[in-house]
A and B are shown apart, each in its own frame.
Chain A
Amino acid sequence: MKKPLVMLLAGGGGTRLGVLVQERSKPSVPFGGCYRIIDLALSNIMHARLDWVGVLAQYKPLSLMTHIGTGAPWNFVGRSRGVSILPPRKGWAASDWYKGTADAVWQSMDFMQPLEPERVLILSGDHVYNMDYRKMISDHVDKKADVTIAVMEVDERDTSRFGMIWTDPDGLITRFEEKPDKADTRLASMGIYIFEWQCLVDALGETVGTGKGNDFGQHVIPRLLGERRLMTHRFDGYWRDVGTISSYFDTNMDVIDPASGLCIDDWEVCTNMQHNHPADRPPARLGAGARVKEARLSAGCRVDGSLQRVVLSPDVTVAEGASVTDAVLMDGVHVGPGAVVKGAVVDKGVVIGAGTVIDGGRDEVQNAKYAKCDLRGLVLIGKRARLPGGLRVGSNVVIEAGADESSFSGEVEDGSTIGAGF
């Protein structure tokens, strides 16, 4: 049996991550201190010993391309292995931006066909989980399925966020509904599919090829129901779609506490240590006055203040007398002396001036511009923003990338947004 070819969907803009995706796609958003979200999927692929991977990238792919590079960190370099980034491209037959997940795969026939796959494993690059795809693959083969969809149980109130699945007692899928308001099933699709090659070619031809739809969940899967053998594969482990700022924050907090089920210490997640050179950073340094509890500290960090429930990416500095709680601080963030940061997600290179207070955590006044990010009281600060000293910032505030001292005039009230130009 040939190993399945992997098509990794990494095109998503992920607009609900607000300013975190101002300059990068969702899969390349930093995660858990030293990783990017896509590292989880890439590491799963590596651990399953799959050899060929196509990465479908469309939205601001530069950071993603640098990060994946040759694929060496995930063992994708070799005579019979490889990873290819597949951006949208013009050709005489098909020439357009990817219009959806199925369209992206359909447009990548030129990548897939020469590899002569027997099966294709289709994954999302923006989920946090640890899954052995080999079990799903053997399930798929044993049950002689045309398509296998990975499913997990979700709460009743969450059915409107997922593609919901009904099965017969043998696991054969009998019904599929995309994001129903109410459903008498608890099985949700995880967006992980194995297709028999010919079934994939036919299904895409009948949907994308004839202009009847471009999305796996909305068009391709419903089209196949009743005609092909669609099976489920149950997954019971930790799985998160870090779709919004609050879920991104919660998932990062889960990295601190292994009891959450996110056991990053055991998952053997690989990342590109050359990207932005975390490999060349010295070990994290704690000063004499440091007070640190429930935290993750990456290489190059320097902490003299106090931290609790905080994830630090490489090169973060927290000065003396500063206090940071319930926060995710990305690479190179500087928290000045005496500053207080509470309830915040702070992108790379942000400088927080001395004595500034970021008072996140109160979900009272909503942020109208970033309502779909589900801030839940968190303060979101974009790349390289510079916050002056002595500033006070309320909850549900978004400070966009590149804002500087001149962007601020006095206290930033709950729910407001600061743009770079002011």
Chain B
Amino acid sequence: MHKVLAMVLAGGRVEELSALTLPRTKAAVPFGGQYRLIDFAMSSLARSEIERVGVISLYRPSSLIDHVGGGEPWDLAGRGRGVKILPPFQMEEGTRWYAGTADAVYQNLAYVERHEPTEVLIVSGDHVYGMDFRPVVKQHRETNADLTMVVKALPAGSGHGQFGFAEVDKERRVTGYEEKPAHPRTNLASLTMYLFDSAKLFERLEENCLTGSSRQLYDEVIPEMVGKDRVFAFPYEGYWNYTRSIGSYMQANLDLLGENPSIDLVGWNVRSRCPHRGLGDLPPARLAGECSCTSSLLGRGVLIDGTVSGSILSPGVRIEAGAQVVDSVLFNDCLIRYGARVERAILDKGVCIGREARVGGPRKDEPGGECKAPASDGVTVIGKGARVPAGTVVETACVIYPRIVETDWPGSHLASGARLGRGGQVE
């Protein structure tokens, strides 16, 4: 019987997300008020009726393990179904981490083989999209492919140096592939979703183990296979964001807003694990008599007495009277005290902004806006549990490390682009 097993790559930190990936792996970064990034991959697999999933973990997996748990939100708990976290492990011949994505899958071949899949689907756990993989599987079987890679046509001239690009003939056969070329010959970018014939995958991973150096699927196994195996492309036309920088992570969050959001949480059937604080379930969001709230998403247990617009408030966030939150993303349990203003900022869990403090500011091209770090798009990021003292000004594109408390602050003004590190070091 044909059966697809999925491997979700969820091990990487991805330094570009700065303070957000200090406490957790990127796939476990909160998103959209009540989700984590991995929910998009998991929900796409659930929607595609793929019932056996391995999740490869490496960097700080605690949040990921709690969140994935037994897989109940994605109906992966039951007979013949299941999700398993696959951390690196010690072996007789010694200890080493996963060298790359190919190595990570290779080291877990025993898990894959035990379930005897006919195909193995390997996807990234940190991309935002909603996909039904069934048509990919169908095409894969019809074309008798060894590998089917999902590609997306990018606007001409974009993505240079970021993605792998495929050359595809009119039968969708991949005839050429380049990883992160400076001048790609096509605009078809690989979305790092690969469907392999199991036997062929095992064979190529064995070879890669002997001859590879980077041990990455994308720059060793895939280019190798394009030369000698039946490799096909499957075009994907929907929304996809790989949230590889603070700017694109912020944009993906804002893509949840507006009249017809490009991220369709309901249509994609995106599911998540319901968070708890203490024993109780959080009550519905409460908006008080003098508040104002427009163009925003509100999670459970949110309490608003101030003004909110264009923002995403995760469960348990509290906005006191006179406080303003504009175009920002606030993770669980943030507290914005009286009279404070937060604009174009990402606040990790449990951040407290003191009274009358100012955090972030308008976009560069707006009057008064400025930006020194282009990848961050001027967005200020405040790490988990950090506290901004009352009256402090934190300009655009700043990064505050997790757990910075009032006494760590060197002054009451942090200039645009500054990083406030552990112990109050300004970089």
- A-side residues, CB < 8 A to B, are 32-35, 43, 46-47, 73, 75, 255-256, 264-265, 267-271, 273, 279-280, 282-300, 311-313
Contacts and interface: CB of A to CB of B under 8 A. Distances in A.
Interface in B68-98: 73
A311 B283 CA distance: 11
A265 B298 CA distance: 15
B280 A34 contact: no
B280 A269 contact: yes
B274 A282 contact: no
Contacts of B272: 280
A328 to B, nearest CB: 12
Interface in B278-295: 278-281, 283-295
A294 B305 CA distance: 10
Given A280-B269, A293-B288, 7 more contacts: A265-B303, A269-B280, A270-B279, A273-B281, A283-B32, A283-B299, A287-B259
B306 interface: no
Contacts of A269: 280-281, 283
Given A280-B271, A286-B295, A294-B288, A33 B34 contact: no
Contact of B281 (A270, A283, A288): A270
Contacts of B32: 282-283
B306 to A, nearest CB: 13
A73 B312 contact: no
Contact of A265 (B283, B299, B312): B283
B291 to A, nearest CB: 6
Contacts of B298: 283-286, 297
Contacts of A295: 286-287
B330 to A, nearest CB: 12
Contacts of A313: 284
B295 A298 contact: no
A265 B301 contact: yes
Given A279-B73, A293-B291, A299-B300, A284 B285 contact: yes
A283 B297 contact: yes
B287 A292 contact: yes
A284 B282 CA distance: 14
A396 to B, nearest CB: 28
Given A265-B286, A287-B259, A295-B286, A279 B274 contact: yes
Contacts of A33: 283-284
Contacts of B33: 282-283
Nearest to B284: A33
A293 B289 contact: yes
Contacts of A264: 283
A268 B279 contact: yes
B266, B294, B301, most chain A CB atoms within 10 A: B294
Contacts of A270: 279-281
Contacts of A289: 294
